[in-house]
Structure formats: structure tokens, C-alpha cells
Amino acid sequence: MDSAIELKENLKRLIKKYEVNPYEISMLRVYKAEVWIENTDAYEKLQKLEALLSPTEERKDRKIYEHLFLPFIDKDNSVKLAPFTLVNLPKLEEYGIVSPTIINLIVRRGNNDIDKKLLNLINLLYETAKIRSKSDVKINDSDISPHFRVGKIKLKYVNEFKPIITREEVERVLREYKFNRSRRLPSDEISLREYLNVVGLIYDALGLLDISKASIEDILKIRKEVGDFRDCGLLDLPLDDRYAFMRWKEENKCGSHPFEIVAGYSYNGILLYPPIKGRFEVFSDYIDERMYKIVSRLLEKKIPFTTDIKKLLDTLTGEIYVNVNIHTPEIQGTVYYDDVREKSKIIWKKIEEVKYR
């Protein structure tokens, strides 16, 4: 059995033979969610890799092996490890090499050429597993690169974050929201005009119109300009016919699109759902100052509504946990390790090395 020093030297020799820069490889994710390889040599090398391992998890359609380690020389010239997971999909005759922070490779048999960097990655994973299968040296957290593992941190510990609201404002909003929860509309049956009146309050809060001067036609115009164009006939309903609105809701086959009153691009839309059990619902995947303005206005006007008030306030004060090195839906962009101001407060996802046969 080798010592820790011998292990590091062996890994250095492998790194020199199979040059792989995980920082460079990770840039492929910018262009593709998955990279496909159709190369029989690569596929058979992964078969040899699998033969060294014991499954971490077995399902009907796959065997999962986590975590393998990819060694590399980091920016400080130290040997670091990046965790990967191997997935065998036997019915599809495919292997997956998965890293949420670096790349997702799908490998199947074929005669296509393979990028030298990706071939080196596969070879380096295999050769490292061969060494690790004969080693009793324990991998410690300090050996794993913090740039290529997943963790979470409170948003307030991220460099660029600045609280949008104060603790006093949080307490006020919570108090008003709690009281507002006692309010309900007499019925869920509303007309298009009644729905648009609430939409107008939201547009006013966002500075898109002046509700004191706006007609219902003005609200409709802004809705068509800034909302999801897939209204599926909602905006053509008679303004004051509650029955028509309710019948349209029952027959609606467009999901949430008609209620997206501020259109988003996969992450930042704002939706206002008609009342259920006497309350409207306002929602956005991406929480920013806009949602705070909307909630404040609806509370001011005593509109019965629901929203995830805790997530909203925690996000705006930085109390929400966000992912490190992978995307978090509630915020724009990704928080990387270098973006964290107080790195000791990161809670890392536990990594246990795969078992070897």
C-alpha cells in the first residue's frame, strides 16, 4: 500500500501523461448541457473503469457509481481532485460521466473522432481508479477542489450581495401579510376586468403605468406588450362576464402562460393567478426588488393574495441559502467559490469515494 506522498507522486505522473484542465473543460457547459461521444474505444475504456467499481446505487435502468476523482494541478500548483459520477445505462448502451460543476458526457459506441481533452479525461479517471483501488490512503476534504464541488451558503455572505430591505421592513411586511391572510374574496368567480384591475396595480408598482390615470384599455395594452403573448384567448373575453372567465379557466389548455403578466426568459417572469379559495397568487421563480414592490402594493390596497413570503424576504435580506458552484433558481447568475466572502461558512455536500471491487 502506498503512502500519501507516494499517492501524490503517482497522481502527478498521471496528470503529466493525460493533460486535463477542468477549468477549460467546464467552459463546454456554456455551449452545451451535454456532450455526446460516439467512440468505441472510449466506451470500452469506461467498461474497464466500471469493472473496478462497486455500485453506489442500482435502479431498474441504471447503475450509479459516485464519487470517482479526477486529479489535476490547481492554480496554486497543488494536486487537487474533482469529483465525478459514472452512470451505466445498459438498455441504451450508454455511459454518463457526470459532474454538476464541470461537464456531462454521454458515451456510446461509434467510429467518431474524440476530442483529445475528453479522451484524456476518460483515461485519467480510469488510471486514477486503478491506483485508488489498491490504495488505503484516505481522501480528505482538503484534497478536493472547492471550485468543483457543490455546497450552499447564505446569500448575505456573497461578495456582491447588498440587502434590499431592512429588518424593520421585514417585520412590517410579515405583520401586514399575516393580517392580510385573514382577507378573502367572497367568491373565486371574477370577471376579466376584476382580474385586470389587480394586474394594473402590479404594473403601477413596477412603474409601467400610472393606475390613477389608466383605463382598462391601457392595462390591456401594457399586458399585451410586456406579458406572455400566449394568452390563449383570455384577453379577448368580455370584460364584465364572470361566467365567461370561469368557463375559460376550466377549458384553459395553456397552463400558466396566460397568467404571466411580465414575460420572463426561463427564469424571471412574474405570474398572477386568479383567486383560489378567495385569494390571488403572485409568483416568480426569480426573486428581486420587483416582487417586493408588488407585495407592498397588494398589501397597501388590501388585495387578498398568497405568495412565498418567507422565501421573498429571506432572499432580499440575504438569509436564503444559495448553491455554490451550481445555479440557484431564485437568483440571477451562479455563485462560485471565489464569489463567497466568508468561505468558512460554506456547507459542503458530503462526498464519499466510490467503493472498489
All three cell numbers of 52: 473496478
Q: Which pLDDT tens digit goes with each residue over 180-214?
A: 999 999 999 999 999 999 999 999 999 999 999 99
* DSSP 3-state of 255: coil
Q: Where are the domains of the chain?
A: 4-150, 167-317
Residue 290 has pLDDT above 70, yes or no: yes
Strands of 140-283, DSSP E? 151-154, 260-262, 270-276, 279-283
Residue 1 has pLDDT above 60, yes or no: no
Environment class of 59 (CB within 10 Å of its CB; exposed 0-12, middle 13-18, buried 19+): exposed
Residue 29 has pLDDT above 80, yes or no: no
What's the pLDDT at 4?
84
- 3-state SS track over 308-355: CHHHHHHHHHCCCEEEECCCCCCCCCCCCHHHECCHHHCEECCCCCCE
* Cα–Cα dist 102/95, whole Å: 17
* Cα–Cα dist 284/280, whole Å: 14
Percent of the chain with pLDDT over 90: 89
Per-residue CA distances from 220 to 28, 224, 295, 303 (Å) = 43, 6, 21, 20
Q: Which of 143-152, 257-266, 293-302, 339-348 has the lowest mean pLDDT?
A: 257-266
All three cell numbers of 224: 399585451
* Contact predicate 192/237, CB 8 Å: yes
The whole-model pTM stands at: 0.82
- 3-state SS track over 39-78: EHHHHHHHHHHHHCEECCEECCCCEEEEEEEEEEECCCCC
List residues bridging with 57 in a β-sheet.
64
Residue 171 has pLDDT above 80, yes or no: yes
Rounded to the nearest 10°, the torsion over CA 310, 265, 149, 130 is 140
Residue 81 has pLDDT above 80, yes or no: yes
